[in-house]
Amino acid sequence: MELPMFPLEWVLLPGEELSLRIFELRYTVMVGDLVRSGDPRFGVVLIARGREVGGGEQRNDVGAMAAITQCTELGGGRYALRCLTGERIRVQEWLPDDPYPRAIVEEWPDEPAEPVSDSQFRELEDRIVTLHKRMAMARRRWVVPGRNTMLGGRRLRSLEPVQRLYSLACRVPMGEADRYAVLAAPSLSDRLTAVHEAIETVSARVEFELPH
């Protein structure tokens, strides 16, 4: 399928909300086209090199589909958008940026692999809770949210495994390279490994910051 594309300087995982202020001409044209078409979907990908404004950036090929859930005109050709990301996508071909970035994409569901068990999810949740407690100690914050608040409570347990793992990954304050590794992991089990590796990286930084 062909989609308008919005390259960003950060990685969005499926199920995340996105707020955008649109002021650059190519993207105001894009938003206008989306609103008129009645199809609010566009793709978001991480910029590999360069910046959002001005064009000419290099882009990664794995991203997520996003849909506009609220669009507010601010005047002067500017918009405020609220969006929600959905399916993971993979770019098959970049089209000319005329008048804005576009690409031929395919949805990329997780590839078959060993399922992630409830015990593996619980182990991951335990590590995330421990990480946040250590972060609180490093920042000398002695009151931390409860486990349910930290992890999303009942809503988390109601999610199917793919979205549950994405939701847990969003609770790890990892860098963009690690977030991209999580997004681009071929299978659910590969993504679990990527999240654990990201926790290792963040934990090492937190332990360095703790007073000794």
Give the single-character DSSP code of 200: H
Can you list the domains of the chain with their CATH numbers?
Answer: 2-107 (2.30.130.40), 118-209 (no CATH)
- The H-or-E segment that residue 74 falls in is strand 58-75
**Which pTM does this prediction carry?**
0.90
List per-residue pLDDT tens for the chain, 212 residues long: 999 999 999 999 999 999 999 999 999 999 999 999 999 999 999 998 766 555 567 899 999 999 999 999 998 889 999 999 999 999 999 999 999 999 999 999 999 999 999 999 999 999 999 999 888 887 777 677 777 877 877 788 789 999 999 999 999 999 999 999 999 999 999 999 999 999 999 999 888 776 65
In which residue are the tokens 């594309």 written? 5
| Run of H or E including 43 | strand 41-49
Which pair of structure tokens corresponds to residue 116?
């992630």
CB atoms under 10 Å from CB of 56, counted, come to: 8
